[in-house]
Amino acid sequence: MSEPNDKKPFAPSSLRPATQMVHGGVTRSQWGETSEALFMTQGYIYESAQQQEARFSGDEPGYVYSRYANPTVSMFEERMALLEGAEAARGTASGMAAVTTAMLSCVKAGDHVVAASALFGSCLYIVNELLPRFGVECTLVDGTDLAQWKAAMRPNTRACFLESPTNPTLSVIDIAAVADIAHDAGAKLVVDNVFATALWQSPLALGADVVIYSATKHIDGQGRCLGGVVLASQQFIEEEMKDIHRHTGPSLSPFNAWIMLKGLETFPLRVKHQTQSAAFLADRLAEHKAIDRVLYPGRSDHPQADLVARQMRAGSTMIALEIAGGKEAAFRLENALNVIKISNNLGDAKSLITHPSTTTHQRLDDDQLAAAGIKQGTLRLSVGLEDVEDLWDDFEQALATL
């Protein structure tokens, strides 16, 4: 016989983030497994027809179908909500499913959206091409210019959308100020927080209403699965977003949710290490004569260093570089790197470099590229978990070929 259990109830919300990322959100099965269980199931069996009826009517809490919810996905959502300090979270199949589901939950035909022009290519497509097809007009602004946000607001503006730091040039937008402008107009602020990560920036605490992540990036962190998550108030997730999420099918697979849950256990360690390495490389690269400019939010020469200090707890795992010689020189540098791999992904254990104007931002025309601050000699580096001296050695030999 086991002793009676007189342990205090376990309350992850009172613990510090690194502890929450190991223990938060766990629901153990009757087997008491150490590691989170992977509930690879589409559906659920009921004790009786009456119970099934009660589950569907909502009179009895519980799972009904994995497009709506799944125990492994729920564990991931709870752990993410703890990390973000959000009331609620909903996992999605990708970062873009998170963006689309969140934006569709804010607007209907006749409404208006204001978005920063420096957006991830696919996000720009959602706000600037997809939403207008359904009667939602979009105004793009220079996100760093608060006067443009103010001027763009209309009586029917229902959502503002931005990412900060931006992809790929790492400029920083004043989230608290844009949240005020949005709220004065009766609109919600949706923030794509992928580049900052939850470790270094908390948009909800700054006044944003909705935060989205591509979990594909730092949350997996090891280049395996696509995933995403929307974080917001209970009202937004469980009411305003509920039917769109349930009935349009952006659901996160239990397998991918399990990978993301395991990724979150090491997330604080990885992001801290990658950020330290990025800060070190940014300083070394800035001194190299072949580099025109380094854009890194942790450096004092960042164009918005004061704002970075106010709204972020540290820089980023990402660095943007500008080199002379345009695309040809950028390609030569990429091709000369050995340890650092050419890839458009980011937040991975492996350091990855990409040339935005020919890859992630290929859809943009010259004016849009200029508005996003992307030059032909711009490269975006995602710093991984390798020994930083090996990364620097790799850069030094590659830069010598320019």
Q: Which stretch binds ligand PLP (CB under 6 A): 45-53, 56-64, 189-197, 203-211?
A: 189-197
Bridge partner residues of 163 (DSSP): 192
Q: Which of 214, 274, 277, 378 binds ligand PLP (CB under 6 A)?
A: 214
129: nearest Cα among 402, 378, 363, 398:
363
What contacts 14, CB < 8 A, 6 or more positions away?
none
Total residues found in the chain within this entry: 402
Near ligand PLP by CB under 6 A: residue from 74, 139, 167, 277: 167
Residue with smaller CB distance to ligand PLP, 24 or 95: 95
Smallest separation (angstroms) from ligand PLP to the CB of 51:
37
Told to check if 231 binds ligand PLP by CB under 6 A, we report no
Comparing C-alpha atoms, which of 337, 345, 336 is closest to residue 380?
345
Through-space distance between the first and last CA atoms of the chain, rounded to whole angstroms: 73
Q: Kindly state whether residue 395 participates in binding ligand PLP, applying the rule CB under 6 A.
A: no
Q: Which residues of 11-27 are buried (b: 16+ CB within 10 A; e: fewer)?
A: ebeeeeeeebbeebbbe
Q: Does 123 bind ligand PLP (CB under 6 A)?
A: yes
Nearer to ligand PLP, 250 or 268 (CB): 250
Contact (Cβ atoms closer than 8 angstroms) between residue 176 and residue 189: no
- Residue span binding ligand PLP (CB under 6 A) among the ranges 88-96, 234-242, 246-254, 295-303: 88-96
| 163: contact with ligand PLP by CB under 6 A | yes
In this structure, is the dihedral angle defined by the CA atoms of residues 117, 120, 121 and 124, taken in order, positive or negative? negative
Q: How far apart are CA 347 and CA 285, in angstroms?
A: 20
Q: Does 194 bind ligand PLP (CB under 6 A)?
A: yes
Task: Tell me the per-residue interface mask from 91 to 110 with ligand PLP, x by CB under 6 A, - otherwise.
Answer: ---xxx--------------
Q: Kindly state the smallest distance separating residue 136's Cβ from ligand PLP, in Å.
A: 19
Residues that bind ligand PLP (CB under 6 A): 94-96, 120, 122-123, 163, 167, 192, 194-195, 214, 216-217, 226, 228
